[in-house]
Structure 1
Amino acid sequence: MDVLRFAGNVLWFVVGGVIAGLMWYLAGLIAAATIVGLPWAFACFRLGSYTFFPFGRELVPVTHLTGRDPGAMGPLRLLGNIIWFVPLGFALMVVHLIAAVLWFATIVGIPFGFAHLKLAQASVFPLGKRIVSTDVAALARQHNAANTLASARSR
C-alpha cells in the first residue's frame, strides 16, 4: 500500500499538485504580509505542504487529536475561518472545486478529484486542523466516536 501512496503522490505532484501547493503558499504569503493574518499564514503553509503530497495523510480537527473541548477557541476559530473565507478561502475553494470536476471527468483521475474536494473543504475552514497519517486519523476518529458514545450513554 505504501508503494501505491508514493506513486499517487508523485503522479499528483507532477500533474498539478505542485501548482496547487504553490497556490496555498501564495495565499500564506499574502496573509503574512498583513501581519494580522499570521494565524492564517501558518495554516496556509501547513496546507501547502499537505497539498504537495496528500495521499496517505488526512486533515483532522485538533479537538479530535487532543480529545479536549475547544473552549473559547471554538468560537474564535469559527470567526477566524469566516474572516479567512472572504478574501482568500473562497478563491481557493473555487479553484479546487473546478479542478475536482475536471479530474472526475477523466474517470482515471477520480482519486485526484477526491483529493481536490478535501482541499476545497480545507480552504473553507483552515484553522483548527492538523495533518496526520491516515492511521492516526482513523484512531482519532475512533477515539472521538467512543468518547461521544460514552457521553451520550451517561445522559
Structure 2
Amino acid sequence: MKAIKFILNVIWLLFCGIWMALAYVLAGIICCVLIVTIPFGIASFRIAGFILWPFGRTAVERPDAGPASCVGNVIWLVFAGWWLAIGHLVTSIPLFLSIIGIPFGWANLKMIPISLMPLGREIVPTDREWGAR
C-alpha cells in the first residue's frame, strides 16, 4: 500500500503538485512579509507540504478551533483563498483530459475546500485511527 501511495505522490508531484505547492509558498511568503498575517503564512506553508505530497494524508477539522479560525478563514478567503481555489480548478482541467489524470483531477478538486478555509484544520496521516484524530 505504501508503494502505491509513493507512486501516486510522484505522479501528482510531476503533474500539478509542484506548481500548486509553489503557489502556496508564494502566498505564505507574502503573508509573512506583512507581519500581521504571519499565522496565515504558517497555514499556507503547512498546506504547501500537504499539496506537495497528499496521498496518505488528509485534512481534518481541529476540535479546538474557535471563532478566531472562522474570522481568519473569512479574511483568508477574501485575500488568498479564492486565488488558490482557482489554481486548483485550472490545474485540474488538463488532468481530466487523460484517463490516467482523471483521479488526480478529482483529488485536485477535493483540495479546494482546504484552499478556501485552511485555518482550524490539521494534516494527519490516513492510516491513523479516527479516534486519534
Residue 96 of structure 1, CA deviation: 0.3
Hey, what does 2:36 align to over in structure 1? 36
Hey, what does 2:49 align to over in structure 1? 49
Residues 88 and 111 of structure 2 are in contact (CA less than 8 Å); yes or no, is this contact kept in structure 1?
A: yes
CA-atom RMSD in angstroms: 1.7
Residue 85 of structure 1, CA deviation: 0.8
Counting helix residues as a fraction of each chain, which structure ranks higher?
1
How far apart, in 1, do the equivalents of 2:83 and 2:130 lie? 33
Hey, what does 1:133 align to over in structure 2? 125
Residues 16 and 91 of structure 2 are in contact (CA less than 8 Å); yes or no, is this contact kept in structure 1?
A: no
How far apart, in 1, do the equivalents of 2:66 and 2:103 lie? 32
Tell me the amino acid that sits aligned with residue 78 of structure 2: V
Give the counterpart of 2:106 among 110, 114, 117.
114
How far apart, in 1, do the equivalents of 2:39 and 2:110 lie? 21
% same residue: 38
The gaps in structure 1 that reach 5 residues or longer are 64-69, 145-155
The gaps in structure 2 that reach 5 residues or longer are none
How far apart, in 1, do the equivalents of 2:41 and 2:106 lie? 24
Q: Deviations along 1:5-27, whole A, 9 cap, x unmatched?
A: 00011111122211111110100
How far apart, in 2, do the equivalents of 1:94 and 1:111 lie? 18
1:77 aligns with 2:89: no
Q: What does 1:65-104 correspond to in 2, within 5 Å?
A: 70=64, 73-104=65-96
1:105 aligns with 2:107: no
Q: What SS is found at the alignment partner of 1:116?
A: helix
Tell me the amino acid that sits aligned with residue 85 of structure 2: M
TM-score, with structure 2 as normaliser: 0.91
Q: Deviations along 1:38-61, whole A, 9 cap, x unmatched?
A: 111110000001111111110111
Moved over 6 A (4+): none
In the alignment of these two chains, the number of paired residues is 133
Residue 107 of structure 1, CA deviation: 2.8
The structure number with the bigger radius of gyration is: 1
Residue 2 of structure 1, CA deviation: 0.9
Q: Deviations along 1:68-99, whole A, 9 cap, x unmatched?
A: xx3xx522111100001111111000110122
